[in-house]
A and B are shown apart, each in its own frame.
Chain A
Amino acid sequence: MRSIDIHAHLTPQCFWKSTESGGDWHSLRREQDDRGREIAIVGDRRGGLPPKARWTPEERMADMDSLGVDVHVLSPYSGFYNYSLDASVAVATSRDSNNEIAEMVKAWPNRFAGLGTLPMQDVNAAVAELERIMTTMGFKGAMIDDKVNGKLLDEPEFLPFWKAAEQMGALILFHQGDDTLVDYRTKRYHLPNSVGNLADRTITFCSLVMGGVMDACPDLKICLSHGGGYTCYNIGRIDRGWRGLPEAPTKPSLPPSEYLRRFHYDCIVYTEEALRFLIDTVGADRVLFGTDWPYDMEFDWPVSWILSLDSITQEEKDLILWKNLETLLDL
């Protein structure tokens, strides 16, 4: 049994090393809270980092062994998108993070593959970095936020990025960075994450489809993390919204449900019934194994969990755990 994890984050060692003894990593800093927890300070934002975020590649691989995960498709920690900082900072942190991932992939090619991070506030710089990591460093794609400083990714200014990603065959993984939609309503009960991530992922599906990006880029490869959020469950209502739209230049000719199979989705939906629903709605060939390593919302014993599910066939389990990603990423 093989397993390839599309949703596994890396807080790069260059951040940890540069911020030792109060130093900074391209203006990012670090301190400990009163319980000894590591806090990353990015601009005016503070984000807690779990102990595993500091682990070396060797410690990570030992943990992967215990979990039964063969390959991490590494993506940099989403708290370090740095879209709201000066573009030069995001360019520098992206290059550092991506270089470190490249080194890990080079050192352990059977255990790691790479998704980069990009300075999306500067589309030209983002395309240049994507080209650098795809053409000279063997990356599989990049992870980006659902929005860039308040803008959705269907804005015309991003079309060159989508064309470039399509042409390079890069997989773009969507994952929230800073505030989600729910932050505007409440900060309680972890809802900005537990509802907000799912809402934001669904907004991304809708904006890429109804904004015409998927039509403009028919070969684009997109993975929506967290199972695509509420996309598959809510698709009937989304179709109804599409039917009522005026005929704009970008309005797709087919309803959004016809685009479900243009996307990939990780399996982070937590319950067997929801995973079964996702598979039945988008197809088993569109669902990818992902764990959200090393954060507290990650799956416990993810491979064992998938293997234990009675309502998922062995063929479907193989597709999800490794076959789909082998094909998609040529691993």
Chain B
Amino acid sequence: MRSIDIHAHTFTPTMLRTLEAGQEWYGMRYTNEEKSNIFVREGKIVNIHPKCKYTPEERVADMDQLGTEVQLVSLHTPVFGYHLSTADGIAHAQEVNNDIAAFVGESPKRLAGMAALPMQDVDAAIAELGRAVNTLGLKGAELDTVVNGKTWDEPEFLPFFKAAESMGATLFYHPQPQHNLMLERTNKYALPNCLGVPVEDTLLVAALIYGGVMENCPDLKVCVAHGGGPACFGMGRLDRGWKVRSEARVNITRPPSYYQSRIYYDIVVMSERSLRFLIDQVGIERVVLGSDYPFVPWDPSPTGWLQGLESITQEEKDMILWKNLENLLGIETTG
């Protein structure tokens, strides 16, 4: 089916080869004999989904089953390298991006790639984004919703946004699926994933808007995973805060809701009613296909779920499935 999926996770060949050999990869290593867990750093062990190990061939075969034409693959965020030294962070990003470029090069009509960046050093991140986009042919970068505790409204990140804007690179934001803000309160009931993730997405939308990033970089291409969380649903409260609190107006001249339509959002909102609401709030031209591959069990598939929705018109479905991302990323689909 004619479609582009902006939200698809992977591991990279060098990482897997290194770990399989029993060696450390930027301090990360397998922690059990089944090789189903990776120790990332102190206090952070992540589970491995076997499909994140797929070769390009295996991945495309799976996409055939799902009816997805093109996937934009990006490194699974738990193995990002923001916590590393700058030198190691740069080496990590360069290796990952070379691997992703080679990975998608195996099937260039079905796969495109997003870079990982060494955000602990803004200058290095700008340089690597330029290399990834201009030399490796990647479409942009995937970014965490927070950088070693810093939020994206910090002035030090503005040169990065300006650079991404001038390069025409797309920034895809995705939080840590387990080790996120929710752990400050609880680890029970799957709350870090089922609520911490959308809260992280919402705080990212808020940081980009209130921090003036969307105002200062009007042509910046940003997409937020999981539909931006419930940011659109809670936008009225963000507007009210802007209206009554001077500290909410330091960087922006209009209410937050004005800027929410400058951001793209994927469809990982897990209910038809919420997706309809998202479309009505941000505009259909801002909603794009994302599947959270391979973690979300769509019924029957990401494209099949969307096609089955009664409250979304066929024209809207086509925009979500491929038209919006063709325009955003310069990718051509054929179906």
CB pair A195–B245 under 8 Å, yes or no, is no
Which residues from chain A contact B186 at a C-beta distance below 8 Å? 152, 203, 207
A116 CB to closest chain B CB, in angstroms?
26
Select one of B189, B199, B234, B248 contacting A241, CB under 8 A.
Answer: B189
CB pair B247–A188 under 8 Å, yes or no, is yes
B142 CB to closest chain A CB, in angstroms?
20
- B151-207: which residues lie under 8 A (CB-CB) from chain A? 151, 153, 181-182, 184-186, 188-191, 193-195, 197-199, 202-203, 206-207
B176 CB to closest chain A CB, in angstroms?
13
Asked whether A191 is an interface residue with its Cβ less than 8 Å from the other chain, the reply is yes
Asked whether A245 is an interface residue with its Cβ less than 8 Å from the other chain, the reply is yes
Asked whether A225 is an interface residue with its Cβ less than 8 Å from the other chain, the reply is no
CB pair B269–A296 under 8 Å, yes or no, is no
B146 CB to closest chain A CB, in angstroms?
7
Q: Mark A178-217, 1 if CB is under 8 A from B, else 0.
A: 0001101110111101110111001100110011000000
CB pair B195–A194 under 8 Å, yes or no, is no
Asked whether B328 is an interface residue with its Cβ less than 8 Å from the other chain, the reply is no
CB pair B234–A237 under 8 Å, yes or no, is no
Stretch in A14-22, A38-46, A63-71, A273-281 with 4+ CB within 8 Å of B: A273-281
Asked whether B281 is an interface residue with its Cβ less than 8 Å from the other chain, the reply is yes
CA distance A27 to B323 in the complex (A): 63
CA distance A207 to B242 in the complex (A): 30
Q: Mark B260-303, 1 if CB is under 8 A from A, else 0.
A: 00000000011101100100110000000000000010000000
Asked whether A263 is an interface residue with its Cβ less than 8 Å from the other chain, the reply is no
A103 CB to closest chain B CB, in angstroms?
32
Select one of B229, B233, B244 contacting A274, CB under 8 A.
Answer: B233
CB pair A181–B189 under 8 Å, yes or no, is no
Asked whether B230 is an interface residue with its Cβ less than 8 Å from the other chain, the reply is yes
Q: Mark A127-154, 1 if CB is under 8 A from B, else 0.
A: 0000000000000000000010000101
Asked whether B210 is an interface residue with its Cβ less than 8 Å from the other chain, the reply is yes
Asked whether A240 is an interface residue with its Cβ less than 8 Å from the other chain, the reply is yes
CB pair B195–A237 under 8 Å, yes or no, is yes
A50 CB to closest chain B CB, in angstroms?
10
B279 CB to closest chain A CB, in angstroms?
11
Q: Mark A276-295, 1 if CB is under 8 A from B, else 0.
A: 01001100000000000000
Asked whether B241 is an interface residue with its Cβ less than 8 Å from the other chain, the reply is yes
A167 CB to closest chain B CB, in angstroms?
26
A10 CB to closest chain B CB, in angstroms?
21
CB pair B271–A236 under 8 Å, yes or no, is yes
Residue among A195, A206, A277 with the most chain B CB within 10 A? A195
Q: Which residue of A lies closest to B186 (CB)?
A: A152
- The DSSP consensus for interface residues of chain A is helix
CB pair A189–B241 under 8 Å, yes or no, is yes
Which residues from chain B contact A274 at a C-beta distance below 8 Å? 233-234, 236
Which residues from chain B contact A308 at a C-beta distance below 8 Å? none
CB pair B199–A181 under 8 Å, yes or no, is yes
Select one of A181, A186, A234 contacting B182, CB under 8 A.
Answer: A181
B253 CB to closest chain A CB, in angstroms?
14
Select one of B189, B239, B281 contacting A210, CB under 8 A.
Answer: B189
CA distance A242 to B271 in the complex (A): 15
Q: Which residue of B lies closest to A193 (CB)?
A: B241
CB pair B274–A189 under 8 Å, yes or no, is no
Which residues from chain B contact A182 at a C-beta distance below 8 Å? 181, 199, 203
- A242-301: which residues lie under 8 A (CB-CB) from chain B? 242, 244-245, 269-271, 273-274, 277, 280-281, 296-297
CA distance A186 to B202 in the complex (A): 13
CA distance A274 to B280 in the complex (A): 11
Count of chain A residues with Cβ under 8 Å from any Cβ of B?
50
CB pair B245–A189 under 8 Å, yes or no, is yes
B247 CB to closest chain A CB, in angstroms?
6
CA distance A273 to B282 in the complex (A): 12
CB pair B273–A271 under 8 Å, yes or no, is no
Q: Assuming A181-B181, A237-B194, is B230 touching A198 (CB within 8 A)? A: yes
Asked whether A168 is an interface residue with its Cβ less than 8 Å from the other chain, the reply is no
Asked whether A108 is an interface residue with its Cβ less than 8 Å from the other chain, the reply is no
A324 CB to closest chain B CB, in angstroms?
21
Select one of A226, A232, A240 contacting B270, CB under 8 A.
Answer: A240
Q: Assuming A198-B237, A236-B270, is B194 touching A181 (CB within 8 A)? A: no
Asked whether B238 is an interface residue with its Cβ less than 8 Å from the other chain, the reply is yes
B273 CB to closest chain A CB, in angstroms?
7
B251 CB to closest chain A CB, in angstroms?
8
Which residues from chain A contact B245 at a C-beta distance below 8 Å? 189-190, 296
Select one of B189, B198, B273 contacting A230, CB under 8 A.
Answer: B198
Which residues from chain A contact B206 at a C-beta distance below 8 Å? 189, 191, 194-195
Asked whether A238 is an interface residue with its Cβ less than 8 Å from the other chain, the reply is yes
A259 CB to closest chain B CB, in angstroms?
13
| 7 CB-based A-B contacts, threshold 8 Å | A152-B185, A190-B247, A198-B237, A233-B230, A233-B274, A236-B270, A269-B233
> 7 smallest A-B Cβ distances: which pairs?
A270-B236, A241-B194, A236-B270, A241-B190, A236-B271, A271-B236, A233-B233
Q: Which residues from chain B sit less than 8 Å from chain A, CB to CB?
A: 146, 151, 153, 181-182, 184-186, 188-191, 193-195, 197-199, 202-203, 206-207, 210, 226, 229-230, 233-242, 244-245, 247-248, 250, 269-271, 273-274, 277, 280-281, 296
List 10 extra interface pairs beyond A186-B151, A191-B203, CB under 8 A.
Answer: A152-B186, A185-B146, A194-B248, A195-B206, A229-B234, A236-B270, A237-B194, A240-B270, A245-B189, A297-B240
